[in-house]
Amino acid sequence: MPIQVLPPQLANQIAAGEVVERPASVVKELVENSLDAGATRIDIDIERGGAKLIRIRDNGSGIKKDELALALARHATSKIASLDDLEAIISLGFRGEALASISSVARLTLTSRTAEQQEAWQAYAEGRDQAVTVKPAAHPVGTTLEVLDLFYNTPARRKFMRTEKTEFGHIDEVVRRIALARFDVTINLSHNGKVMRQYRAVAQDGQRERRLGTICGAAFLEHALAIEWQHGDLTLRGWVADPLHTTPALAEIQYCYVNGRMMRDRLINHAIRQACEDKLGADQQPAFVLYLEIDPHQVDVNVHPAKHEVRFHQSRLVHDFIYQGVLSVLQQQLDAPLAEKDDPPAPRPMPENRIAAGGNQFARPAEARETAARFSITPSREPAASSGKPGGASWPHAQPGYQKQQGALYRQLLDTPTAPKPALQPPAAAELAGHSQSFGRVLTIVGGDCALLEREGGLALLSLTVAERWLRQAQLTPGAEAVCAQPLLIPLRLKVTEGEKQALAAAQPALAQLGSMCIPMPCT
C-alpha cells in the first residue's frame, strides 16, 4: 500500500482514541472548555449514560461567529500561540483536539453567542471531510455543546461501553472532581431528565467546607485536617483525613490538583503515603483533597494524552515539600495534649521520632514553628489545632471523663516510689539503628521526661534523655552498611585534569561510602 495522507475524519477518529475513551471523557473535555471560557454556571444533561446525549451549557464568554468553524477544526485553539505559552500554560485545555475528535465519533452541535453579538450562531461538522456548517440560532450569552449518539460510526468502540449505570457513575465522578477544583462555579448534573447533583458556588472558607462535605461526605469532613503550607512559589492547601480514623470507604477519597488541574500523580501520592505511613496500617490508604500551586514554568502538563499526569522539573523538591506539609499537620494533631479540662496544657519536650526527618527548609512553616535541627529536642511547644476543630485533641472520641481518669492514673503512676535508677549502661550497637521510627509510635508524654510508646504490640516507656543520646550517638557513629545508592539513568560525564584524576582515585573509598562511583572513560 503506498504512503498517503489520511482523510480528516479518519485522522480525527484516531486522535479520538486517546482523547475520547468513554462518555465521561467527553464531559471532562467540554466542561474544562467552559471553565477556560470563564463560566460561573455549568449545566450538564445526560441521557442513557451519555450514549444518547451529552449536553453542556455554560454562561462563559462564548465564541465569535467567525471562529465557530475553526473551533471544530483540529489543532485550533485560543489558549496558546507559541512555545512560550505552552511552557507557561495555565488553562485546562491547550491542544485544540477535543472538539474535532468528538465531532468525528458523534453528532456534535456547537451553539454560542458573545456579549457583542446580537444573535447566536450554531455550527456542526458532517461528511467525510468534516465540513462545518454555520447558521443562526437563539441562545443567551455563552455556549451549548450537544453530543448525540456517541460512537455511532465506530461500532468497535461502542461495544466496549459499559452499562448505563456504570457510564453515568464515571461521569458523576468526573463532575465531583471538577466541583472540588472550582468552588466558585455552580455545577448542575442531570440524568434522564432528573437532577442528580447540584453544587452551588461558594466563596468563604466555611462554605467551602460545607461543599466539601457535600461532595466527599460527612465522615471525611469530620476527620479532615486543614493544610496551609507554603515555601517560595510552592503552595499546598486542602484537607487530609486523620489517619487514626481512616476507613476503607474514606480511603477512596484521593483527589489532587496541580494549578487547578485534576491529577493522578504517583509522586504526589507517594509523598502523602510516606507522610502517613507511621499512622496507617499496612493495608490502609490515606484520604485527602489537596491543591498544589506551582510556577507553571516548573511543571510540564503536556506528557499524557488525557492530561492525567504531569512532570515536575524539580520532582524531589516537590516531593519533600508535600511530605513535610502533610507530616506537619499530622504531627500537630498528635501533639495536642491529653489533659484535664480544668488544667491548662503544660509545655512538654517533643520526642525525637516526632520531628520530621530531613531537616530541610520545608520543616519550618513561617511563624508557627521555631527553627530546629534534625533529631533535636524542642524545649517547649505550644498546642496547635490545625484541623480547625475545637480543642484539637489527638483522640477525637475521648470524653472529658475518660481524659480525667487517664490523667489520674498517670499521676498515680508517677507518684509511686521507685527504686534508685541503676547506672546507665552504654547502649548496644544493635540498638543504635539511627532511625527514629525504631522507637515505636508515640502515644503521649508522661511526666515531661518520658514518652509512652506503642511498640511490637505492647506499651513501653522511653526516657527522652536516653532517646536523645541514642540518636545523637547514632548520628555520629558511621553505619555498618554503605549508603544505598541509586544509579542515574544517564551517568554524568566530567572532564578532569590529571591531578584531579589522581585525587579522585585516592578518594574512591570515601566516595563509595557516600554512594558515588567514578568510572574512568577512555579519551575520544
pLDDT band with cut points at 50, 70 and 90 for residue 436: very low
Query: Which pLDDT belongs to residue 490?
Result: 66
Q: How many helices and strands in the chain, by DSSP H and E?
A: 15, 18
149: in domain:
yes
Task: Flag whether pLDDT at 455 surpasses 60.
Answer: yes
The proportion of the chain whose per-residue pLDDT surpasses 70, expressed as a percent, equals 75
Interval 147-164: pLDDT, tens: 999 998 888 888 888 899
Q: Are residues 292 and 235 in contact, defined by beta-carbon separation less than 8 angstroms?
A: yes
Regarding whether 165 and 20 lie in a shared domain, the answer is yes
Q: Mark 178-191 as b/e (b = at least 16 C-beta within 10 Å).
A: bbbbbbebbbbbbb
Mean pLDDT, range 9-13, rounded to an integer? 78
Domain boundary among 133, 164, 197: 197
pLDDT band with cut points at 50, 70 and 90 for residue 47: very high
Regarding whether 106 and 178 lie in a shared domain, the answer is yes
469: in domain:
yes
Interval 244-263: pLDDT, tens: 888 888 888 999 999 999 88
Q: Give the integer Cα–Cα distance in Å for 338 and 336.
A: 7
User: Residues with Cβ < 8 Å from 207, sequence gap 6 or more?
Assistant: 183
522: in domain:
no
Set of cell numbers at residue 129: 471531510
Task: Flag whether pLDDT at 515 surpasses 60.
Answer: yes
Q: Please state which of the ranges 55-69, 403-417, 500-514 shows the lowest mean pLDDT.
A: 403-417
The CB-based long-range contact list for 377-381 (8 Å cut-off, 24+ gap) reads 377/349, 377/350, 377/351, 377/352, 377/464, 377/468, 378/349, 378/350, 379/347, 379/349, 380/347, 380/348, 380/349, 381/335, 381/347, 381/348, 381/349, 381/350
Regarding whether 150 and 17 lie in a shared domain, the answer is yes
Q: Please state which of the ranges 178-187, 200-209, 217-226, 408-417 shows the lowest mean pLDDT.
A: 408-417
Query: Which pLDDT belongs to residue 358?
Result: 41
- What CATH number corresponds to the domain at position 180? 3.30.565.10
128: in domain:
yes
Q: Please state which of the ranges 23-27, 239-243, 404-408 shows the lowest mean pLDDT.
A: 404-408
Task: Flag whether pLDDT at 21 surpasses 90.
Answer: no
272: in domain:
yes
Q: Please state which of the ranges 32-41, 220-229, 366-375 shows the lowest mean pLDDT.
A: 366-375
Interval 303-350: pLDDT, tens: 776 677 888 988 899 999 999 999 989 888 766 554 444 445 444 444
Bigger pLDDT: 292 or 477? 292
Q: Is 137 helix (H, G, I), strand (E, B) or coil?
A: strand
pLDDT band with cut points at 50, 70 and 90 for residue 61: very high
497: in domain:
no
Domain boundary among 463, 478, 493: 478
Q: Give the integer Cα–Cα distance in Å for 79 and 68.
A: 15
Mean pLDDT, range 70-81, rounded to an integer? 85
Q: Give the integer Cα–Cα distance in Å for 300 and 279.
A: 33
Whole-structure pTM value? 0.64
Domain span holding position 179:
8-197
Interval 376-433: pLDDT, tens: 333 433 434 444 444 433 444 444 444 455 555 555 555 655 555 555 454 444 443 4
142: in domain:
yes
Regarding whether 370 and 283 lie in a shared domain, the answer is no
Q: Are residues 119 and 134 in contact, defined by beta-carbon separation less than 8 angstroms?
A: no
Query: Which pLDDT belongs to residue 489?
Result: 58
Regarding whether 63 and 178 lie in a shared domain, the answer is yes
Q: Are residues 375 and 358 in contact, defined by beta-carbon separation less than 8 angstroms?
A: no
Query: Which pLDDT belongs to residue 127?
Result: 66
What average pLDDT is seen over the chain? 78
How many domains are contained in the chain? 3
Query: Which pLDDT belongs to residue 470?
Result: 83
Query: Which pLDDT belongs to residue 46?
Result: 97
Regarding whether 445 and 349 lie in a shared domain, the answer is yes
Residue 184's nearest CA partner among 24, 42, 388 is 42
Regarding whether 298 and 267 lie in a shared domain, the answer is yes
- What CATH number corresponds to the domain at position 282? 3.30.230.10
Domain boundary among 162, 197, 232: 197
Query: Which pLDDT belongs to residue 481?
Result: 54
Regarding whether 52 and 156 lie in a shared domain, the answer is yes
Residue 33's nearest CA partner among 93, 80, 77 is 93
Q: Are residues 171 and 23 in contact, defined by beta-carbon separation less than 8 angstroms?
A: yes
pLDDT band with cut points at 50, 70 and 90 for residue 11: confident
User: Residues with Cβ < 8 Å from 239, sequence gap 6 or more?
Assistant: 212, 220, 224, 225, 226, 227, 288, 289, 290
Regarding whether 240 and 216 lie in a shared domain, the answer is yes
Q: Give the integer Cα–Cα distance in Å for 142 and 63.
A: 8
User: Residues with Cβ < 8 Å from 170, sequence gap 6 or more?
Assistant: 22, 23, 24
Query: Which pLDDT belongs to residue 458?
Result: 82
**Bridge partners, 45 (sequence order):** 55, 190
pLDDT band with cut points at 50, 70 and 90 for residue 514: confident
CA atoms within 13 A on the CB side of 495: 2
Regarding whether 217 and 184 lie in a shared domain, the answer is no
499: in domain:
no
Query: Which pLDDT belongs to residue 168?
Result: 96
Regarding whether 285 and 380 lie in a shared domain, the answer is no
Regarding whether 272 and 403 lie in a shared domain, the answer is no
What single letter denotes the amino acid at residue 166? T
